[in-house]
Amino acid sequence: MTTSSRDANTVDSIPPLARLFPLGLQHVLAMYAGAVAVPLIVGGAIGLGGADLAYLISADLFVAGIATIVQSIGFWRFGVRLPLMQGVTFAAVGPMIAIGTQHGITAIYGATIACGLFMILVAPFFSQLLRFFPPLVTGTVILIIGLSLMDVAAGWVIDGAEDGAADPLNLAFAAGTLLFIVLVERFAPRALARISVLLGLVVGTLAALAVPGMVDWSGVADTAWFGIVTPFHFGLPTFEIASIVSMLVVGLVIMTETTGDMIAVGEIVERPVGRRQLADGLRADGLGTVIGGVFNTFPYTAFAQNVGLVSLTGVRSRWVATMAGGILVVLGLLPPVSAIVEGVPRAVLGGAGIALFGMVAASGIRTLAKVRFDNRNVLVVAVSVGIALLPTVAPEIYARFPDAFTLIFDSGISAGAIAAILLNLLLNSRSAKERYGADPVVGSYDGVRSTAAIALVSSEAVGAGLTPVRFRDESGQELPAVDKDGNPVDAHVVAPEGDPGR
Q: Which H helix or E strand runs over 157?
A: helix 135-158
pLDDT band at 286 (very low <50, low <70, confident <90, very high): very high
Q: What is the mean pLDDT of residues 442-449?
A: 50
Kindly give, in sequence order, each residue whose CB lies less than 8 Å from that of residue 318, ignoring residues fewer than 6 positions away: 11, 12, 72, 73, 81, 82, 83, 84
Residue 459 reports pLDDT greater than 50: no
C-alpha–C-alpha distance, residues 409 and 245, integer Å: 11
Q: Which H helix or E strand runs over 87?
A: strand 86-88
First to last CA, the chain: 57
Which DSSP category does 165 fall into?
A: P
Q: What is the mean pLDDT of residues 91-114?
A: 89
Q: What is the mean pLDDT of residues 394-414?
A: 77
C-alpha–C-alpha distance, residues 3 and 289, integer Å: 40
pLDDT band at 370 (very low <50, low <70, confident <90, very high): confident
Which DSSP category does 429 fall into?
A: S
C-alpha–C-alpha distance, residues 329 and 324, integer Å: 9
Q: What is the mean pLDDT of residues 162-187?
A: 86
CB 423 within 8 A of CB 115: no
C-alpha–C-alpha distance, residues 224 and 250, integer Å: 35
pLDDT at 109: 93
C-alpha–C-alpha distance, residues 372 and 459, integer Å: 11
Paired strand residues for 302 = 86
C-alpha–C-alpha distance, residues 312 and 317, integer Å: 13
Task: Write out pLDDT tens, residues 299-343.
Answer: 998 876 677 667 666 778 899 899 999 989 988 888 887 777 777
Q: What is the mean pLDDT of residues 245-264?
A: 81
Percent of the chain with pLDDT over 90: 17
Which DSSP category does 463 fall into?
A: T
Please name the amino acid found at residue 89. T
For all residues of the chain together, what is the average pLDDT? 78
Q: What is the mean pLDDT of residues 372-382?
A: 87
Q: What is the mean pLDDT of residues 244-251?
A: 88
The DSSP code sequence of 262-326 is HHHHHHHTT----HHHHHHHHHHHHHHHHHHHHTT---EEE-HHHHHHHHHH----HHHHHHHHH
Q: Are strands 300-302 and 86-88 parallel, antiparallel or unpaired?
A: antiparallel
Task: Write out pLDDT tens, residues 34-73.
Answer: 788 888 888 888 888 777 888 888 899 999 999 999 999 9
Q: What is the mean pLDDT of residues 378-387?
A: 92
Tell me how many degrees the CA angle 274-275-281 measures, rounded to the nearest 5.
90
pLDDT at 465: 41
Lowest mean pLDDT of 123-132, 342-351, 355-364, name the range.
123-132
Which of 62-66, 97-101, 334-338, 463-467 is modeled with the greatest confidence?
62-66
Using DSSP's 3-state secondary structure scheme, residue 78 falls into: strand
C-alpha–C-alpha distance, residues 267 and 168, integer Å: 48
pLDDT at 436: 62
Q: What is the mean pLDDT of residues 188-198?
A: 78
pLDDT at 114: 95
Lowest mean pLDDT of 17-26, 50-59, 153-162, name the range.
153-162
C-alpha–C-alpha distance, residues 360 and 142, integer Å: 7
Lowest mean pLDDT of 39-43, 113-117, 378-382, 395-399, name the range.
395-399
Q: Would you tell me how many other CB atoms lie within 10 Å of the CB of residue 116? A: 26
Please name the amino acid found at residue 40. L
CB 471 within 8 A of CB 403: no
CB 109 within 8 A of CB 234: yes
Please name the amino acid found at residue 74. G
Q: What is the mean pLDDT of residues 348-357?
A: 83
- Closest of 283, 299, 287, 294 to residue 249, by C-alpha: 299
The region that residue 245 occupies, defined by phi over 0 for left and psi between -120 and 50 for alpha, beta otherwise, is: alpha
The region that residue 3 occupies, defined by phi over 0 for left and psi between -120 and 50 for alpha, beta otherwise, is: alpha
Q: What is the mean pLDDT of residues 96-108?
A: 90
pLDDT band at 396 (very low <50, low <70, confident <90, very high): confident
pLDDT at 98: 86
For 352-382, letters b (16+ CB in 10 Å) and e give: bbbbbbbebbebbeebbeebebbbbbbbbbe
Q: What is the mean pLDDT of residues 439-467?
A: 45
pLDDT band at 487 (very low <50, low <70, confident <90, very high): low
pLDDT band at 438 (very low <50, low <70, confident <90, very high): low
Q: What is the mean pLDDT of residues 364-382?
A: 86
